[in-house]
Amino acid sequence: MQTLKSWAARTATVAGLCLSAALPATAQTVYQVPAMSDFSGPFSSIMPMMAGGREAVATWWNAEVGAKMGVKIEVKSYDTRYDAAQTASLWPGVLATKPLVGLSAGGPDTAALQQRLPTDKVVMISGSAANGSGWRPNQWVLTPRPTFVHEITGFIEWYQKTKTPGRPVKVAMFTTEASPSFADMAKGVSAYAKASPNVVNLVEMVFVDVQPTDVTLQLRRVLNAGAEVILVPTNIQQAVAVKRAMQALGKNVPIVHGLQNSPGMLQKLVGSMAAMEGDYEVHGGVITSEEDTEAKRFYDLLVARHGMKVPWHAITSLGMTQTLLAVRAIEVAAKKHGPDKLSGELIYTTLLETTFPAKDFFGLTGGDLDFSVEAPFPTKDPRINIGQVVGGKLTTVAKGVPVPRLGKW
């Protein structure tokens, strides 16, 4: 009898396994997420890091979140060469895939597609900060960061309060008129300085070439005028030129960089991270230091379990953050409307109607994210993070720093 019972039990088990195998897996709706990229243009050397961040977050989300919701996203890269004409030429083919939400590489995507997207009903998430020229209502290219000017002025207010309380801080800024984005920074910071004389004294707005060979004379001039902080939130070439001029003059006045020319990107060009001792990195994203932060732990998880193969770097964090915002919007929309009912217009509406808490981004943002029809960036309570090179290492010195409320410039 015991043998018969054992045989019956084994038979039931095998039958159960066969039945389980025959049952269909949880139904999944697959959505396309086009990722505008630059693998053969001016940013081809750093694009793999951004792409790696995008892909790893998508893989993680599909496995850990999407599978339970019945949703899968497929991220496909399109090489636009960071060129608006190339983006425009590729877009009809991209649109034919019926994309749910897109990932933008920067300005050329916005220039090529901004007027088309409301009609095509596809919202795109950019990793870059916004520009004043894009500060218009009803935009369909959204960024989790505020404008570059918000980031810069947020730092100025923090520095004045913590380093020069009771008097305005004297600053100079290096930029160029050859780039619309960098010229916009100059216009915005100048307007802020004029409106905030108790906070900042703008010694000079120094306009130089996009790729200057030597700025020693200009730097000497502003240092002699008493500049205590040198803002270089533009590109790598200008940041290197200012650092070399600082070294040639034997001075050590702190230089302030943006995400796109952060110390992590400059260290090899100027000798080492130690060569930037005292310099700052300022933006609405995470400071990609080696500190044990929530963001770094999330990155380590992606490396260990989800195929992340690119280094922990400011550019990597851009791809991670924009993709996280996209999938968080997909989550909210899927829960409200159903996993098989999503559309680009629903994702756009979800982004406008939802305040996404900072905890959803594992420390990759300055704070909560919210959007409205008034601007293509968070306006309710945008925050920035500030890093500084201390002891030869990049260190986070301030998190969630509020930025001033600015009028359009």
What are the DSSP calls for 276-332, one per residue?
GTT-EEEESB----SS--HHHHHHHHHHHHS---S-S-HHHHHHHHHHHHHHHHHHH
Angle at 144 between CA 138 and CA 148, to 5 degrees: 90
pLDDT the model gives residue 17: 38
Going by pLDDT thresholds of 50, 70 and 90, the confidence category of residue 133 is confident
pLDDT the model gives residue 8: 40
Chain segment 151-167, per-residue pLDDT in tens: 999 999 999 999 999 99
Least confident range from 20-29, 70-79, 226-235, 344-353: namely 20-29
Least confident range from 15-19, 144-148, 328-332, 381-385: namely 15-19
Does residue 65 register a pLDDT over 70? yes
Can you tell me the distance from the alpha carbon of 323 to that of 312, in angstroms, rounded to the nearest whole number?
16
For residues 390 and 398, is the Cβ–Cβ distance under 8 A? no
CB contact burial 291-326 (16+ within 10 A = b; e otherwise): eebebbebbeebeeebebebebbbbbbbbbbbbbbb
Does residue 376 register a pLDDT over 60? yes
Average of pLDDT values for 112-127? 95
DSSP secondary-structure letter at 351? H
pLDDT the model gives residue 236: 94
pLDDT the model gives residue 230: 98
Does residue 375 register a pLDDT over 70? yes
Side by side, the strands of the sheet bearing 169-175 are 200-207, 169-175, 229-232, 255-257, 280-283, 383-390, 393-402
Does residue 19 register a pLDDT over 50? no
For residues 17 and 61, is the Cβ–Cβ distance under 8 A? no
Token pair recorded at residue 100: 């749910």
Least confident range from 5-14, 337-346, 382-391: namely 5-14
Average of pLDDT values for 360-389? 96
Side-chain half-sphere CA neighbours of 330 within 13 A = 31
Query: Is residue 136 left, alpha or beta, with left meaning phi > 0 and alpha meaning psi from -120 to 50?
Result: beta
49, containing H or E segment: helix 47-61
Q: Residue 129 to residues 19, 126, 200, 391: CA-CA distances in angstroms?
A: 53, 8, 23, 29
The residue among 289, 225, 281 whose CA lies nearest residue 258 is 281
pLDDT the model gives residue 27: 82
What is the pairing mode between strands 101-104 and 71-79?
unpaired
Going by pLDDT thresholds of 50, 70 and 90, the confidence category of residue 42 is confident
Average of pLDDT values for 64-85? 96
- Residues paired with residue 78 on neighbouring β-strands, in sequence order: 36
pLDDT the model gives residue 18: 40
Going by pLDDT thresholds of 50, 70 and 90, the confidence category of residue 106 is confident
pLDDT the model gives residue 13: 41
Least confident range from 6-20, 65-79, 286-300, 332-346: namely 6-20
Average of pLDDT values for 13-17? 40
Going by pLDDT thresholds of 50, 70 and 90, the confidence category of residue 33 is very high
Q: In angstroms, how far is the first alpha carbon of the chain from the final one?
A: 89
Does residue 142 register a pLDDT over 60? yes
- Residues whose CB falls within 8 Å of the CB of residue 252, separated by 6 or more in sequence, listed in order: 246, 277, 278
Average of pLDDT values for 328-333? 98
Can you tell me the distance from the alpha carbon of 33 to that of 121, in angstroms, rounded to the nearest whole number?
13
Average of pLDDT values for 260-279? 93
Q: Residue 150 to residues 86, 109, 135, 138, 188: CA-CA distances in angstroms?
A: 30, 22, 12, 20, 9
Whole-number average pLDDT of the chain = 92
Does residue 191 register a pLDDT over 80? yes
- Residues whose CB falls within 8 Å of the CB of residue 34, separated by 6 or more in sequence, listed in order: 75, 76, 78, 94, 97, 99, 102, 103
Going by pLDDT thresholds of 50, 70 and 90, the confidence category of residue 43 is confident
Q: What is the pTM of this model?
A: 0.90
Average of pLDDT values for 32-38? 97
